[in-house]
């Protein structure tokens, strides 16, 4: 968990305690325990990691469309009608994107 009172104050980073009791505290990396003040903006890291499968599929589809158009014979009027390149590259992009895992942070306001 990370929190700050406003944009000008430094962030406090650590593991949360007593969240369910309504008195959240943060144990910092140095071992100090800090009470989260009312009105602080919290960023909470979820347990599940986010992946980039959709972004990979979109990038793969666009790259496949470009590749399909580049390899199309002149006069390039009917390119890609029966060409599976876009679907294959979209699938490959989604597969690569799903392997890229990032932390998933959610911003909440403590009242």
Domain edges within the chain: 2-45, 51-102
**Residue range 76-109, pLDDT digits in tens:** 777 777 889 999 999 999 999 999 998 888 877 7
At residue 50, φ and ψ (nearest 5 deg) are -90, 150
15-65 confidence digits (pLDDT tens): 878 877 777 888 888 888 888 777 777 777 888 888 999 999 999 999 999
**Cis bond upstream, residue 75 (ω within 30):** yes
Please name every residue paired with 4 in a beta bridge, in sequence order, or none if there are none.
41
pTM value > 0.85: no
């Amino acid at each position: 968990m990370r929190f700050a009172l406003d944009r000008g104050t430094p962030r406090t980073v650590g593991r949360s305690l007593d969240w369910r009791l309504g008195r959240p505290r943060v144990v910092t990396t140095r071992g100090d325990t800090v009470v989260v003040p009312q009105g602080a903006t919290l960023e909470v890291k979820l347990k599940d990691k986010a992946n980039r499968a959709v972004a990979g599929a979109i990038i793969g589809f666009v790259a496949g469309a470009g590749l399909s158009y580049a390899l199309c014979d002149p006069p390039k009027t009917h390119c890609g009608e029966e060409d599976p390149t876009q679907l294959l590259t979209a699938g490959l992009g989604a597969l690569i994107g799903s392997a890229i895992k990032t932390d998933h942070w959610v911003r909440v306001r403590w009242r």
